């Protein structure tokens, strides 16, 4: 029986095997382009543009840096790339991930390993660093929930934890055209790679 196609042709010309991705088939331009067009919250946000995973990733990296000012550059890069596999597999809200089951996580882990190797990061981020990135991710989710996804503050507190009021007032969600977000994501990646 013929195996189903498990690869996707990327705009860079690379042919990414989703079941067995290799670092050679990972290009930052493909990641930035894909993430700039993937909507967070299944697109259920206010504004004239979807809030993209690329914009979210830029915010998470910024929050991570603010919360961990002495963090090595490699972990700042890991924060920027924390949702990078979604350029291929899309962003699923937590209830959908739970319904899909472990298959999504296996695919995500394989892609993340190839992405990390491609950009000089360890396949496994240390648990303490992963926890710090997750904390920044939750701060971002709280801000997104309240500012653009229609949650009340008590709802956001319940799902994402209470947020420091100073952080809540100092960070503003930005909705921008995908081309601007893609450019900024690629530029921030280049800055971090230059600093490694």
Cα gap 150→153, rounded to integer Å: 10
Whole-number mean pLDDT of the chain? Answer: 94
Percent of the chain with pLDDT over 90: 83
Cα gap 84→90, rounded to integer Å: 10
- pLDDT per residue as tens digits for the range 24-37: 999 999 999 999 99
User: What is the largest distance, in Å, between two alpha-carbon atoms of the chain?
Assistant: 59
Residue 134's pLDDT band (boundaries 50, 70, 90)? very high
* Angle of CA points 194, 54, 103, to nearest 5°: 105
């Amino acid at each position: 029986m013929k195996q189903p196609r498990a690869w996707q042709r990327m705009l860079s010309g690379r042919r990414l095997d989703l079941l067995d991705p290799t670092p050679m088939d990972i290009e930052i331009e493909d990641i930035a382009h894909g993430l700039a067009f993937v909507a967070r919250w299944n697109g259920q946000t206010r504004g004239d543009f979807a809030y993209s995973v690329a914009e979210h990733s830029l915010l998470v990296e910024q929050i991570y840096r603010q919360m961990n000012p002495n963090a090595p550059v490699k972990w700042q890069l890991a924060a920027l790339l924390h949702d990078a596999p979604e350029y291929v597999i899309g962003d699923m809200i937590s209830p959908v991930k739970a319904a899909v089951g472990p298959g999504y996580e296996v695919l995500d882990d394989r892609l993340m390993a190839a992405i990390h190797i491609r950009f000089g990061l360890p396949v496994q981020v240390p648990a303490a660093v992963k926890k710090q990135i997750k904390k920044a991710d939750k701060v971002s989710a709280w801000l997104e929930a309240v500012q653009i996804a229609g949650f009340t503050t008590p709802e956001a507190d319940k799902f994402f934890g209470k947020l420091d009021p100073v952080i809540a007032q100092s960070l503003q969600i930005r909705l921008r055209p995908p081309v601007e977000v893609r450019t900024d994501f690629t530029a921030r990646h280049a800055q971090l790679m230059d600093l490694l």
